[in-house]
Amino acid sequence: MPYTSRMTTTAMTPPSAPAACTHDSGTQPIHAVPAADKPAADTPAHPATDGAYRLLVMGLAAGYHYGDVRPFVASLRETGFAGDCTLFVSPTTRDLDRIAAHDVDCRTIDRQTDYEALSHLPWNALRFFIYRDHLRRLPSLPDAVLLCDVRDIIFQSDPAARLWGTGLCCTLEDRRMTVGDCPYMRRWMCGHLGEPAWNAIAHHNISCSGTVAGGASAVLCYLDAMCDALLPFMPGPGMAGYDQGVHNHLLRNGALGIARLTDNSSGPILTLGYKTTMPERDNDGRILCDDGTPAVIVHQYDRMPGLFADVRARYAPPRRPRETRRPRKTDRQRRSAHGDTSA
In a domain? residue 270: yes
| Pair 262, 171: CB distance under 8 Å | yes
Residue 21 domain-assigned (yes or no): no
Tally: H helices and E strands in the chain: 9, 14
Q: CB-based burial of residue 276 (10 Å sphere; 0-12 exposed, 13-18 middle, 19+ buried)?
A: exposed
Q: Is 287 within the bounds of a domain?
A: yes
Q: Give domain status of residue 9, yes or no.
A: no
The pLDDT of residue 339 is 55
Q: What is the pTM of this model?
A: 0.81
Q: What tens digit of pLDDT does each residue of 219-250 get? A: 999 999 999 999 999 999 999 999 999 999 99
**Residue 322 burial (CB < 10 Å; 0-12/13-18/19+)?**
exposed
Give the model's confidence band at 7: pLDDT under 50 very low, under 70 low, under 90 confident, else very high. Answer: very low
Q: Which residues contact 220 (CB under 8 A, 6 or more apart)?
A: 21, 23, 43, 132, 135, 136, 141
Residue 216 lies in a domain: yes
155 SS3 class: strand
Segments forming the whole domain that contains residue 74: 53-315
Per-residue pLDDT averaged across 105-115, rounded?
A: 97
pLDDT at position 327: 59
**In the prediction, which pLDDT does 319 show?**
73
Q: Is the dihedral of CA 85, 86, 89, 95 positive or negative?
A: positive
| Structural domains of the chain, count | 1
Instruction: Report the DSSP pairing between strands 19-21 and 30-32.
Output: antiparallel
Residues 192, 239: contact at Cβ < 8 Å?
A: yes
What is the DSSP secondary structure assignment for residue 143, as one 8-state letter?
S
Model pLDDT for residues 72-104, shown as the tens digit of each residue: 999 999 999 999 999 999 999 999 999 999 999
Band of pLDDT at residue 321, cut at 50, 70 and 90: low
E strand or H helix at 46, and its extent?
Answer: none
The CA-atom distances, in angstroms, between 63 and each of 1, 138, 314 are 28, 25, 22
126: β partners: none
Give pLDDT tens digits for 178-210. 999 999 999 999 999 999 999 999 999 999 999
Per-residue model confidence as pLDDT tens digits over 44-72:
334 444 568 899 999 999 999 999 999 99
Phi, psi of 146 (to 5 degrees): -120, 115
Q: In the predicted model, what is the mean pLDDT of the chain?
A: 85
| Residue 29 resides in a domain | no
**Does residue 157 form part of some domain?**
yes
pLDDT of the residue at 228: 98
Compute the distance between CA of residue 292 and CA of residue 304 in angstroms, rounded to an integer. 19
Residue 215 lies in a domain: yes
Tell me if the bond preceding 29 is cis, omega within 30° of 0.
Answer: no
Q: Give the model's confidence band at 41: pLDDT under 50 very low, under 70 low, under 90 confident, else very high.
A: very low
Identify the CATH number of the domain in which residue 65 sits. 3.90.550.10
Does pLDDT of 129 surpass 70? yes
